[in-house]
Chain A
């Protein structure tokens, strides 16, 4: 990277510098923004996202991926799985895009980080546009916006109604991972998952044996901030089960 022409990139590591990509934490998810939305999952061009991989489908989705910390950690843990991050803010999406491109270029073994990508979209409305029924095996909701006021509870990304849509795109056995540092939100998410007939909470043994669970706390920027401040985190992890109505 020529740092004279790209001052937003670090000279030493070649990676983009976060301070040039800062954006406000909030973006209204219920408004209709003007970004392109695929007409249907078959219209999603995976070759744009994963140029070196063909004939595979995305299996992991990080909803509200922020600065991409989780995706980076998961990429090396599951090198054969395609994963995509979804983020509403455009500046932050730009950062993650540049980060992934830079990592791919500078990766030592070659061919690393080819399995992650990011897309700018409103995941509350458009998840069915990107993923077919039962396509995903893991979905991540790390430190979502708490929307404290009761009138804004409709905007929370985990709610019993939105869980209908997430259950649709997750196949049977698919897992939803959520974590937050706000106790009330943690309780809300846990109870939504419990109330929903198509989700069943993982047992403690299953949580301990899942390598992804510990990444929830410390892989992302938000998680590291919480750990620095000595805050408590609240996890809720559930598996999608078959439902006979």
Chain B
């Protein structure tokens, strides 16, 4: 017998936000199907509250079109007050049986939910674990994860509502070192394609890193989890929002940076195929930077850990023998960049060691010496401005470096630039020079994240849809590969020539002809080392 009690939904938009790139029109469907799964089939009434100016007006408009009644408040504290007052008023004028669904992380709702239960209403809380506590979660009849609810909604094409598709941003691609699997983050999804089997994981992933041995990877999600995944199982390493992850080359330690500039370290012991167990299960503070840390990397020999921060500098710390006691010795500080640093890659071959490259939004790629921190050379790539697709209405293009990787055992680096449908090949011995400009033929494919796999010598690239849309399928994530043998890049592989073939592409890209993957998000980040 289906339960047809009326359902009332309150959503605090500032508390449980929509992930970047998520189509707002899907929310009401998501909530409806979550209720169906719980066994409630009654009519639903939706109310939402948002802070005026914090969410895009367009987002709120789309949410309203689907049936939400939105109250616009002026401060985030008033949002939780509004929800409490609204629910209290509602309680006086409504009688059980009914279902009250509250989408919020406000811990103070616990007593209100308790009262609802006592009165005889069914209660459900949908929450984000990192921002709330057991005080709230243990009270209602049902509790669901916000990310689960959002992920289970079918895709919606905004054009059916007469609304345009929304501009979306970069993907990220991560290649397992021995190319056993390829992972692509597309919006809410983390799609992992194993060449042996397929697995689709759904978390609101932000950053990911493969360990060099390939036995595990660590990913950080926007919901505030840092998880370590091995072939069979996964462990929660930490509950906080991490912006950058680094794994030491011998898989001994994992470091990650949070939103306040603190860098944490976890010691992993005994990684084997079946079990991954962080020892002590607690992370220790490795060091703290005075500004936010956006990139973390270990040098290939594991002696140093590099962090790029919001003051445009790269700090090289000596990774100590007892990292759990903190890394206090700074080896060098690399100063010179004038805008945010987007990517770091090491130049490490038989002739040259202890060098690294950094690419940044200031249109330069710089070569540094690790132990002295001195700037060896700056390569200005603003000369590439002429190749960039530009709209007339937009201001002059700034050539921003989006991603970079070095070809091992050579002094060559591959660089992806914003809005350029191709890649650059740079040669970096004592100085950096642009060796080759490679255009990628076909549908304007602008790589936003690139990754090199060692064993099979392929350069994998992921692109975001171009704006204005040039191809037939503007909303689709696309994946391409280019062979890279003996430090020479040949031409792009056709779809059927990619290892894994069309099946891999289908898994990673989504079904190309019919479905629109309108939601794509997260910043780009490189994979583990080769």
A139 CB to closest chain B CB, in angstroms?
Answer: 15
- Given contacts A162-B290, A245-B318, whether A167 and B311 have CB atoms under 8 Å apart is no
**B110 interface contact, C-beta 8 A:** no
Once A125-B291, A162-B290 are accepted as A-B contacts, the answer to whether A196 and B328 lie under 8 Å apart by CB is yes
Given contacts A245-B318, A245-B321, contact A40 B330 (CB under 8 A): no
Q: Are A40 and B336 in touch, CB under 8 angstroms? A: yes
Contacts of A165 in B (CB 8 A): 290, 330
Instruction: Tell me, yes or no, whether A164 is within 8 Å of chain B by CB.
Output: yes
With an 8 A cutoff between CB atoms, is A219 at the interface? no
**In the complex where A40-B335, A161-B287 touch, is A168 in contact with B311 (Cβ < 8 A)?**
no
Q: Per-residue CB proximity of A55-92 to B under 8 Å, as 1/0?
A: 00000000000000000000000000000000000000
Look across to chain A and name the residue whose beta carbon is closest to the beta carbon of B328: A164
Q: Which residues of B contact A162 (CB under 8 A)?
A: 290
The CA of A30 and the CA of B318, in the complex, are separated in Å by: 26
Residues of B within 8 A of A (CB-CB), count: 23
* B373–A129 touching, CB < 8 Å: no
Question: Is A39 part of the contact surface with B, judged by Cβ < 8 Å?
Answer: yes
Residues in A neighbouring B322, C-beta threshold 8 A: 245
Chain B contacts of A35 at CB under 8 A? Answer: none
**Minimum Cβ distance to chain A for residue B492 (Å):** 39
Is the beta-carbon distance between B336 and A125 smaller than 8 angstroms?
no
Q: How distant is B367 from chain A, measured CB to nearest CB, in Å?
A: 15
The verdict on A46 contacting chain B, using a C-beta distance below 8 Å, is: no
The complex places the Cα of A125 from the Cα of B326 at a distance, in Å, of: 20
Q: Which of B344-376 contact A (CB under 8 A)?
A: 373, 375
A212 touches B (CB below 8 Å): no
A22 at the B interface (CB under 8 A): no
On chain A, the residues within 8 Å of B333 by CB distance are: 128, 133, 168
A17 smallest CB distance to B (angstroms): 35
Which residues on the A side are within 8 Å of B330 (C-beta)?
Answer: 133, 164-165, 167-168
Docked Cα-Cα span, A210 to B338, in Å, equals: 42
Contact present for A198 and B328 (CB under 8 Å): yes
B328 and A197 contact, CB distance less than 8 A: yes
Return chain A residues, CB-CB under 8 Å to B332.
133
B457 within 8 A of A: no
C-alpha gap A40/B287 in the complex (Å): 22
Set B287, B311, B328, B338: member contacting A243, Cβ < 8 A: B328
Q: CA separation between A198 and B318, bound complex, in Å?
A: 13
* A226 contacts chain B at the CB level, 8 A cutoff: no
Contact between chains at A167 and B290 (CB < 8 Å): no
Residues of A within 8 A of B158 (CB): none
Beyond A125-B291, A164-B287, A245-B321, whether A39 also contacts B338 by CB under 8 A is: yes
Highest count of chain A CB atoms <10 Å: which of B289, B290, B318, B326: B290
Cβ–Cβ contact A243 & B329, under 8 A: yes
Complex Cα distance, B287 from A198, in Å, reads 14
**In the assembled complex, A119 has its CB within 8 A of some CB on chain B:** no
Residues of B within 8 A of A197 (CB): 328
Residue in contact with B290 in the complex, picked from A41, A124, A198, CB distance below 8 Å: A124
Residues of B within 8 A of A129 (CB): 313, 335
- B288 lies within 8 A of chain A by Cβ: yes
How far, in Å, is A41 (CB) from chain B's closest CB?
Answer: 8
Q: A162 vs B328: C-alpha distance in the bound complex, in angstroms?
A: 10
- Please tell me which one of the listed residues B290, B320, B327, B328 contacts residue A125 in the complex, with CB atoms under 8 A apart: B290
Nearest CB in chain B to that of A163: its residue: B328
A156 to B: closest C-beta gap in Å:
12
- Alpha-carbon gap, A133 to B373, bound state (A): 10
Name B335's contact: one of A39, A164, A167 (CB within 8 Å). A39
Rounded to whole angstroms, the CA-CA distance of A165 and B307 in the bound complex is: 14
The distance in angstroms between the C-alpha atoms of A77 and B290, with both chains bound, is 34
**A40, A41, A160, A245: which contacts B329 (Cβ < 8 A)?**
A245
- Report the Cα distance A196→B329, complex, angstroms: 10
Instruction: Provide the B283-326 mask, 1 if CB < 8 A to any CB of A, else 0.
Output: 00001111100000000000000000001010000101110001
Q: Output the least CB separation between B264 and chain A (Å).
A: 13
Contact residues in B for A126 (Cβ distance below 8 Å): 311
Nearest A-chain residue to B291, judged by Cβ: A125
Contact B291 A167 (CB under 8 A): no
Query: Would you give the shortest CB distance from A37 to chain B, in whole angstroms?
Result: 9
Interface residues of B in 23-55 (CB under 8 A from A): none
The distance in angstroms between the C-alpha atoms of A241 and B335, with both chains bound, is 25
Q: How many Å lie between the Cα of A245 and that of B313 in the bound state?
A: 24
Contact pattern, A 116-133, Cβ under 8 Å of B = 1, otherwise 0 = 000000001110110001
Inside 8 A of B318's CB, which chain A residues have their CB?
245
| A residues near B291, Cβ cutoff 8 Å | 125
A residues contacting B by CB (< 8 A) are 30, 39-41, 124-126, 128-129, 133, 160-165, 167-168, 196-198, 243, 245
Q: List 20 A-B contacts (CB under 8 A).
A: A40-B375, A125-B291, A125-B311, A128-B333, A128-B335, A129-B313, A133-B330, A133-B373, A160-B326, A160-B328, A164-B328, A164-B330, A165-B330, A167-B329, A167-B330, A168-B330, A197-B328, A243-B328, A243-B329, A245-B320
7 further A-B contacts with Cβ under 8 Å, apart from A41-B335, A128-B333, are A133-B332, A133-B373, A160-B326, A167-B328, A243-B328, A245-B321, A245-B327
